[in-house]
């Protein structure tokens, strides 16, 4: 591309940022859509979050993605917060507005778009959610907001599950999240559930692990999404498939969180065919 005086700059702030796929998503989108835009990762240390957000605004940067560990730390330095991001308490996209950035959470709208694209229904579903960390907390909000009937939130540290359940149930106004320890799945009614794997167990390079190993757990699953996308087929996904369930990884969530951010920055709608083209490139890039 030809960088000139009118080239818009977008980027990612986080720590680390070396292995990010976001430049692949955004630079490909810009090229395909004829947008004069370049996307760059910026390594930002914890103590520099305020300076990074204010400095980016001063440099007329159009938009930023935010990744770990800064998704909550950026919030005090924003001019405005989208209501969903405010509820979740985490922001992954900053959109330039008059006087400062507005924060959004496109991780959750990205997961929702990814699930819809696979034909996975949430409304009225009984759901198992493994994990109560940053990502699972946001998934719990999304499932509650999208009308899941019940969400059994299973986590190694029960106190963390209790805290997420309390917060989400208050925010969505119903007792939708039921906190449990990992082994308590044995007490659940024997039926088929939608299952979201939101722990970091099984993430590359620890690919031979799953947060629950017992085969009887997987008998309860009919469709599953692992938020992990590296490796492309996690042990959790393999155990689901061995028990006859459908299982998807988190790569489409990553794709769509980026696509939605791009749409917010450029006020455009990205074609599904272009999304699929980029998805193909991402699959190549994460092969291990």
Q: Under the criterion CB under 6 A, does residue 245 sit at the interface with ligand NAP?
A: no
Contact call for residue 79 and ligand NAP (CB under 6 A):
no
Alpha carbons 49 and 70: distance in angstroms, whole number: 7
Residue nearest to ligand NAP (CB): 133
Least distance to ligand NAP, CB of residue 90, Å: 9
Q: Which of 6, 71, 116, 186 is catalytic?
A: 71
Q: Helix, strand or coil for residue 181?
A: strand
Q: Which is nearer to ligand NAP, 39 or 57 (CB)?
A: 39
The yes-or-no answer on residue 6 being catalytic is: no
Q: Which of residues 51-70 bind ligand NAP (CB under 6 A)?
A: 68
Among the residue ranges 49-57, 128-136, 165-173, 276-284, the one whose residues contact ligand NAP (CB under 6 A): 128-136
Residue 252: its H or E element: helix 251-266
Contact set for ligand NAP, span 133-162 (CB under 6 A): 133-136, 155-157, 160
CB of 147 to ligand NAP, least distance (A): 22
Q: Is 229 in the site for ligand NAP (CB under 6 A)?
A: yes
Q: Does 169 bind ligand NAP (CB under 6 A)?
A: no
132 binds ligand NAP (CB under 6 A): yes
β-bridge partners, 93 = 65, 104
Token pair 């799953």 is found at 210
Sign of CA dihedral 183, 121, 270, 106: negative
Could you give the angle at the alpha carbon of 50 between the alpha carbons of 85 and 76, nearest 5°?
35
- What does the longest C-alpha to C-alpha distance in the chain come to? 63
Q: Does 198 engage in binding with ligand NAP (CB under 6 A)?
A: yes
Interaction residues for ligand NAP, span 5-44 (CB under 6 A):
none
Cis (ω within 30 of 0) for the bond into 16?
Answer: yes
Residue number with CB closer to ligand NAP (128 or 132): 132
DSSP string over 14-80: ESS-TT-SHHHHHHHHHHHHT--EEEEEEE--GGGHHHHHHHHHHTT--EEEE-TT-TTTTGGG-SE
Contacting residues toward ligand NAP, per CB under 6 A: 68, 107, 131-136, 155-157, 160, 198-201, 203, 211, 227-229, 250, 253-254, 257
């Amino acid at each position: 591309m030809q960088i000139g005086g009118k080239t818009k700059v977008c980027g990612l702030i986080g720590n680390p940022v070396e292995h990010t796929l976001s430049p692949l998503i955004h630079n490909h989108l810009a090229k395909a859509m004829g947008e004069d835009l370049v996307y760059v990762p910026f390594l930002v240390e914890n103590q520099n979050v305020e300076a990074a957000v204010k400095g980016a605004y001063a440099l007329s940067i159009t938009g930023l993605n935010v990744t770990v560990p800064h998704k909550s730390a950026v919030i005090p330095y924003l001019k405005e917060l989208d209501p969903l991001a405010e509820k979740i308490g985490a922001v992954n996209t900053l959109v330039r507005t008059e006087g400062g950035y507005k924060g959004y959470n496109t991780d959750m709208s990205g997961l929702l778009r990814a699930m819809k694209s696979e034909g996975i229904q949430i409304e009225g579903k009984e759901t198992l959610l493994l994990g109560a960390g940053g990502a699972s907390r946001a998934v719990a909000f999304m499932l509650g907001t999208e009308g899941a009937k019940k969400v059994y939130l299973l986590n190694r540290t029960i106190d963390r599950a209790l805290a997420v359940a309390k917060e989400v149930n208050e925010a969505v106004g119903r007792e939708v999240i039921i906190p449990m320890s990992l082994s308590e799945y044995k007490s659940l009614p024997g039926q088929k559930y939608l299952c979201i794997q939101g722990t970091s167990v099984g993430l590359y390079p620890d690919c031979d692990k799953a947060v629950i190993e017992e085969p009887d757990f997987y008998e309860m699953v009919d469709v599953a999404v692992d938020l992990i996308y590296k490796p492309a087929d996690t042990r959790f996904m393999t155990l689901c498939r061995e028990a006859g369930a459908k299982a998807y990884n988190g790569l489409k969530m990553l794709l769509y969180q980026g696509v939605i951010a791009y749409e917010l920055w450029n006020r455009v709608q990205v074609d599904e065919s272009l999304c699929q083209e980029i998805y193909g490139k991402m699959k190549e890039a994460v092969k291990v």
